[in-house]
Amino acid sequence: MNKKTVISRSVEDTHELAREVVARQKTGIICLFGDLGAGKTTFVQGLAKALGIADEPQSPTFAYQRIYDGMYHYDFYRLSGPDYGFLEDILHACTEVLVVIEWPERMLKYLPNERIEIMIEYIDEHSRKFILNT
């Protein structure tokens, strides 16, 4: 895996990083790690823009998933264990669209090893540290 660290100092920086990721990969799985408020959903919104998705993604914390044309967005924060229905959807979709998973820890051992993992760390109100493993 290649490792890259980027400091984002604004929403625009975060969206630019998302554009760079989409320029390299329009299908597959992206796992987003980070505490509440770290900026995972903001990064997903940047991915959606880069993919040309008109809707602005919201966190699917209570719905678990939101499906857009070109991207499936999952949030497993409230998932207590593996959900094989979601896993089947993810494994099928990742060959056709970008699958983005917030809180992937709940299902990580069941996901393919071919994925991008991004750790997002809160620095201050405007700044985040992104560590990308591709």
Write down all domains in the chain, each with its CATH number in brackets: 3-133 (3.40.50.300)
Q: Is the pLDDT of residue 43 over 80?
A: yes
What is the number of helices (H) and of strands (E) in the chain?
3, 7
In this structure, of 35-39, 65-69, 80-84, 121-125, the range with the lowest mean pLDDT score is 80-84
Q: Is the pLDDT of residue 128 over 90?
A: yes
What integer pLDDT is reported at residue 1 of this predicted model?
A: 67
Average pLDDT over residues 57-65: 77
Q: Is the pLDDT of residue 4 over 90?
A: yes
What gap in Å lies between CA 4 and CA 2, rounded to an integer? 7
Average pLDDT over residues 101-105: 93
Q: What is the DSSP string of 59-114?
A: --TTTSEEEETTEEEEE-TT--S--HHHHHHHHHHTTTSEEEEESGGGTGGGS-S-
Nearest-CA neighbor of 76 among 112, 99, 100, 104?
Answer: 104
Q: How many residues does the chain have?
A: 134
What integer pLDDT is reported at residue 22 of this predicted model?
A: 95
Residues 6-15: tens digit of each pLDDT: 999 999 999 9
Average pLDDT over residues 42-48: 96
Q: Name the pLDDT band for 61 (thresholds 50, 70, 90).
A: low
